[in-house]
Structure 1
Amino acid sequence: MTRAEIHEFLSRLREIDPEPTTELEYTSPFELLIAVILSAQATDVGVNKATRRLYPVANTAQAILDLGEDALKRHISTIGLFNAKAKNVIAACRILVAQHGGEVPNDRAALEALPGVGRKTANVVLNTVFGEPAIAVDTHIFRVSNRTGLAPGKDVRAVEDRLMRVIPGEFLLGAHHWLILHGRYTCKARKPDCPKCVVRDLCRFKEKTVGSA
């Protein structure tokens, strides 16, 4: 896409949703961090279902350590890979308590040092909680960026780097959420809803779906 097309593309997504945010439910930086850790290979709906049970019981690093790994597993057992995730959450909570006073650090290196936290999770926290212009490239953003021609790349890091280069500054804070939601509800993997897409005319996807007669 040209610079003008990228501006128009994002302007239209912003018009639909002027103040985008994550669909994960949270009331504190810590709750979001744990929700994002749990969301790996899981849906936001599934994570919210589990955290609605967990957070009334334990929603701080120390409270989860007091709860213990076995009890934590019971609260998140409906989520895929819950055994491994529980182990990571407990380990991350230990570090948060020991090194950060139980608070979520506003620092990429410190975030990525936590078990279960990679670049994508760190980007979500930095963007959503701390208002930093970061883009967490998940399967939705990777697909939308390549399919539309917004920011083609062979892997998630290449797409992230390109998005950060081509997206105008005024859109950087919201781009992460706009692209995820567009991929989740319109530019879907199996059958994109091209007839209802607000950026259809800007999109480079050659196999656009058509509306029913």
Structure 2
Amino acid sequence: TGVGPAAWTGVGPAAPNGVGPAARNGVGPAAQIGGGPAARPGLGPAARTGVGPAAQTGVGPAARTGVGLAARTGMGPAACTGVGPAAQTGVGPAARTGVGPAAWTGVGPAAQTGLGPAARTRVGPAAWTGVGPAAWNAVGPAARTGVSPAAQTGVGPAARTGVGPAAWTGVGPAAQIGVGPAAQTGVGPAAQTGVGPAAQTGVGPAARTG
């Protein structure tokens, strides 16, 4: 039709209609409408709409919507929505939502919610919620809640509640409640209550009252 120096209205996948110097209205994955120098409305995984120089709305794992230079909305484990330069909403263990530069809500062992630069909500012994730089609330014997950098609420003999930097309420002979730096309420012969630096109320021959 001659709207541009190479414009035409052909029937094949390379026929353009002259909205831009290379705009086309074909049927294949390279068909374009010319909203930008490479914008395309095609049917394949490389089809684009031109919100950015590489923005796409395709159907495959590399399909993108162009909120950022690499933002994607695909269906695979690398698909992202572009709240940050690498933010994702994918289905795999690396899927992210972009509340922080590394935050994500995935299903796998590295899934995060982004309350801090490394905060996680996992169910395993290394999971945490980010009240402090290493605080976590896991279900295992090393679980922590972050009242102090080493405070814990675990289930095993080393579980702690964090009234002091070493205080804990565990079940074994070293369990403590933290009224003093070594105060304990354990069940064994070394259990203490902390009225003095070595005071004890134990059951064995070395039990003391302080």
Q: Report the TM range for the smaller structure's normalisation.
A: under 0.3
Higher fraction of helix: 1
Q: Highest CA radius of gyration, 1 or 2?
A: 2
Using structure 1 for the length normalisation, give the TM-score: 0.22
